[in-house]
């Protein structure tokens, strides 16, 4: 729980500071966040670090597509902040740390996440100021994984971290979601209730690709030249 709390505290401070900085100062925040990521990842097993790397790659691709290309959401400076890719790795680690800290209470953790996601989706369609039809589309996917997946505790932990940071980040103006999906016109929340469903795909890719990454990386290392032993005549 302490590890998850430390990561969450860093991310909360990072997002708050970002609302006050220039582009050049934002670059410094990016460098700092990469350092923090490395420090938190060092104690992890090799396979877990590989999962973090896959999540960062998948999330960065989604960020470029969703924000820069499609314009579903926009950061304050209308760019992709350099701290965002490593921050995704930190979010993933925080969610895992939370699920591991509560491993004796998995059913409660999953139930809280499922009820929270379902309630958020329903409120977005009925009560909240912005109709959130797009977000509601992602909720069933998240609920399905919370119900059936063997990694449901991890998904529950990540949902709680992502949901909290989304509500916080949009409230202080670090980023903002468009009122409707560009080109489709489907109303979207700020933030959308199903935003954490994206992490389902990031996590699935991490679980599937990390073992393959560990097998592939040693092949990239140059082969060592044989050591020739010469004897005296």
Q: Is residue 229 part of a domain?
A: no
Q: For residue 150, with 0-12 CB atoms within 10 Å meaning exposed, 13-18 middle and 19 or more buried, which class applies? A: exposed
Q: What is the mean pLDDT of residues 115-144?
A: 95
Task: Write the DSSP string, 46-75.
Answer: HHHHHHHHHHHHHHHHHHIIIIIIS-SEEE
Mean pLDDT over all residues of the chain? Answer: 91
Residue 217 confidence (pLDDT): 66
Residue 83: which residues within 8 A CB-CB, separation 6 or more? 14, 18, 26, 29, 30, 32, 33
Considering 41-55, 135-149, 164-178, 190-204, the range whose residues carry the highest mean pLDDT is 164-178
177: part of which helix (H) or strand (E)?
strand 175-177
171-187: average pLDDT: 98
Q: Does residue 57 lie within any of the structural domains? A: yes
pLDDT digits (tens, 9 = 90+) for 75-121: 999 999 999 999 999 999 999 999 999 999 999 999 999 999 999 99
> Would the pLDDT of 233 be above 50?
no
Residue 200: the pLDDT is 78
Task: Band the pLDDT of 204: cuts 50, 70, 90.
Answer: confident
pLDDT one-digit tens code per residue, 9-19: 999 999 999 99
pLDDT digits (tens, 9 = 90+) for 161-170: 999 999 999 9
**Is residue 224 one of the residues assigned to a domain?**
no
Residue at 22 is within a domain:
yes
Q: Is the pLDDT of residue 226 over 80?
A: no
Asked, for residue 227, whether it belongs to a domain, the answer is: no
Is residue 230 assigned to a domain? no
Report yes or no on 49 lying in a domain.
Answer: yes
Question: What domain range is 190 assigned to?
Answer: 2-213
Closest residue by Cα to residue 32 from 50, 11, 46: 11
Q: Does residue 132 lie in a domain region?
A: yes
pTM assigned to the model: 0.90
List CB contacts of 31: < 8 A, sequence separation 6 or more. 82
State yes or no: pLDDT of 209 exceeds 90: no
Can you say whether residue 221 is alpha, beta or left, with left for phi > 0 and alpha for psi between -120 and 50 degrees?
beta
Q: How many C-beta neighbours within 10 Å does residue 200 have?
A: 21
User: How many domains does the chain fold into?
Assistant: 1
Report the percent of the chain where pLDDT is more than 90.
Answer: 79
Model confidence over 16-58: pLDDT tens digits?
999 999 999 999 999 999 999 999 999 999 999 999 999 999 9
């Amino acid at each position: 729980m302490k590890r998850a709390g430390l990561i969450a505290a860093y991310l909360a401070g990072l997002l708050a500071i970002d609302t006050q900085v220039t582009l050049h100062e934002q670059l410094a925040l990016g460098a700092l966040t990469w350092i923090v990521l490395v420090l938190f990842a060092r104690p992890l097993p090799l396979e877990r670090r590989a999962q973090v790397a896959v999540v960062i790659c998948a999330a960065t691709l989604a960020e470029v597509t969703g924000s820069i290309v499609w314009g579903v959401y926009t950061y304050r400076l209308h760019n992709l902040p350099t701290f965002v890719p490593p921050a995704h790795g930190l979010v993933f680690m925080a969610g895992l740390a939370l699920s591991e800290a509560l491993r004796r209470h998995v059913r409660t953790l999953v139930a809280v996440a499922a009820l929270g996601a379902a309630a958020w989706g329903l409120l977005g369609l009925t009560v909240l100021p912005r109709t959130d039809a797009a977000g509601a589309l992602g909720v069933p996917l998240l609920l399905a994984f919370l119900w059936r997946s063997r990694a449901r505790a991890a998904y529950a932990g990540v949902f709680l971290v992502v949901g909290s940071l989304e509500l916080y980040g949009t409230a202080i103006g670090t980023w903002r979601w468009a009122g409707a999906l560009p080109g489709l016109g489907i109303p979207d929340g700020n933030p959308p209730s199903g935003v954490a469903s994206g992490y389902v795909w990031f996590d699935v890719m991490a679980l599937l690709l990390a073992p393959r990454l560990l097998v592939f990386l040693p092949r990239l290392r140059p082969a060592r030249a044989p050591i020739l032993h010469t004897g005296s005549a």
